Structures are given as C-alpha cells and as structure tokens.
Amino acid sequence: MTLIPFVKATACGNDFLIIEGMHAPADMVAFTRRICDRHNGVGADGVEWLFPAQDADIRARLLNADGSEAEISGNGTRCVAAFLCSERGQREQIKVRTGAGVKTCALTTREQTLFEFETEMGEPQLGEEFPIKVAFGEVRGTPVSMGNPHFVLFRDEFTPGWQGDAAEIGRHHDFKHGINVELVRVRDRQNLEVRFYERGVGETQSSGTGSCAAAVAAMFAHKTISPVTVHAPGGKQQVRWDGQVFLRGPARIVCRGEFLA
C-alpha cells in the first residue's frame, strides 16, 4: 500500500489534482482514472503531474479524467502556478512547460489561497468555419487551436440536451483525435456566454483554452472586440488578443491529502 500526496485546486470550477511526478505509480493512466472518479476517488477533471524542467519552473503533464493525455489546460496551468506559489514561495511570474510549450503565468493578486494570474497563451491558429453532418443535422463551427484543438459553434441559446450533441460533435470522424467543443452565445461586444464539452472529460464548468478559443473565434468573426469576458457556469475569465492571447482568471487551492495507490 502506497500513500500518494496530492493537492486539489480549482479554476472557475474546472478542478485538478496536482501530484509531484516522483510519486507517480507505474500505471499513471489507471491511477489517474481512479483518483479522478467523483464517486470512488477524490474527483477531478484531470491530474497535473509535475516534473522538473530545464527551461521553466516546472513541467506539467496533464492526464484527463479518463486517462487520456492532453496537450494543455489553461485552467490547469493556472492551478499549477497557484500550487507553486503556495508550496514554494510566492513569485511574480511562473513558467510552466506544457505539451503546448512554455506558458508564463503572471501573478496579479493573491488573497490567502485564492490567486489570480494572467497567462500568455501564445498565438492562436484559426481555420475557416465549416459544416459537419451529425445525427441531429448539420452544424457549422470554427476550428481554433490554442495548442490543443477546439471547435467553436455560435448559438442563440443553449438547448436542453446540448451535452449529447456536443459529445457527438467531439467524436466526429473529421476530428481524428477528438476535439474540444464550445457552444457560444454572444451577449454583447465584450461578453460571451459559453458551455464546454472537453475531450476525455465531458461537460466542464469552465475551460481556459476553451475560453480563449471562443473569444478568438468571436473576435475573428467581428462579433466581439478585445478584451472579452467569458462567462461560464463556474465563473468568468477575461481574454485579450494582442498578437498573443492572454487569459486572466482565478485559481484556488481547495485541499490537500493522500490517496491509496
């Protein structure tokens, strides 16, 4: 029996377990599934496994709740930065190496276990809007990469059962490795309301890269102007696009404990 220490953190309800890589069991995938289970484990959208990095303060390897690996989570990266500030001493900037490159999180405010960061998310890659055919009809969306893939669809409202529709879109054969899906309602020129359905997780209360993708797609379509506030069930974040995309939002340390491997 092995006790593995963890810290749980949340960014707008998008929750992660943060575990030092030195404690990783032989089968990280199976362990991640167990500890992320919301009924038989601690419960989380994923685990940020931390390892040393030569070109950053830390390297974060993200495994989703189903054990699949993701390139990056904007909210997860912010949770890692909050963990480092909490555990290793506060600093003004934290560099996190992710599967999508090194991301710099600049600390803007702190109040005990609640932190706010603005993170450099890099340059987005956008494609032209295109249609796909699914069981419930044809839908049109805009592909956006924030180092991980997104498909952004604009809606006048969020209809009941949207999660099933988003799940079908996310596993469509056009997306060989799956895709994160954002349903977006434009409130006004600087406010969006978004629902997220993420690869390897399902519906989430928020998404950092998803918020960026939604805002970038809306700005690209001239529906909004920078900066854009993204409102999600878990809270709000601000996205500005000035060459690079910058994401500002909170991260909170929730608890710490030990889990049986």
The tens digit of pLDDT for each residue in 194-212 reads 999 999 999 999 999 999 9
Better pLDDT: 136 or 155: 155
Q: Residues 6 or more apart from 49 whose CB is under 8 A from it? A: 19, 20, 21, 24, 28, 60, 61, 62, 63
221 and 184 Cβ atoms separated by less than 8 Å: no
* 88: pLDDT strictly greater than 90: no
pLDDT digits over 61-81, tens only?
Answer: 999 999 999 999 999 999 999
Long-range contacts of 126-132 (CB under 8 A, 24+ apart): 126/216, 126/217, 126/220, 129/221, 132/169, 132/172, 132/174
Is the bond preceding residue 124 a cis peptide, omega within 30 degrees? no
* 261: pLDDT strictly greater than 90: no
* 91: pLDDT strictly greater than 90: no
Number of residues that this document lists for the chain:
261
What's the pLDDT at 119? 98
What's the pLDDT at 89? 83
In the predicted model, what is the mean pLDDT of the chain? 96
Please give the average per-residue pLDDT across 166-186, as a whole number. Answer: 96
What's the pLDDT at 31? 97
What's the pLDDT at 90? 80
What's the pLDDT at 135? 86
Lowest pLDDT segment from 53-57, 120-124, 173-177: 173-177
* 241: pLDDT strictly greater than 90: yes
* Entry pTM: 0.96
Q: Percent of the chain, pLDDT > 90? A: 95
Better pLDDT: 191 or 134: 191
* 170: pLDDT strictly greater than 90: yes
Please give the average per-residue pLDDT across 185-195, as a whole number. Answer: 98
What's the pLDDT at 98? 98
Compute how many other C-beta atoms are within 10 angstroms of the C-beta atom of residue 70: 23
Quickly state the pLDDT bin for 57 (edges 50, 70, 90): very high
CATH superfamily of 3-121+249-260: Diaminopimelate Epimerase; Chain A, domain 1 (3.10.310.10)
Task: Sketch the domain layout of the chain as residue ranges.
Answer: 3-121+249-260, 125-242
CATH superfamily of 125-242: Diaminopimelate Epimerase; Chain A, domain 1 (3.10.310.10)
Please tell me if the domain spanning 3-121+249-260 has the same topology as the one spanning 125-242: yes
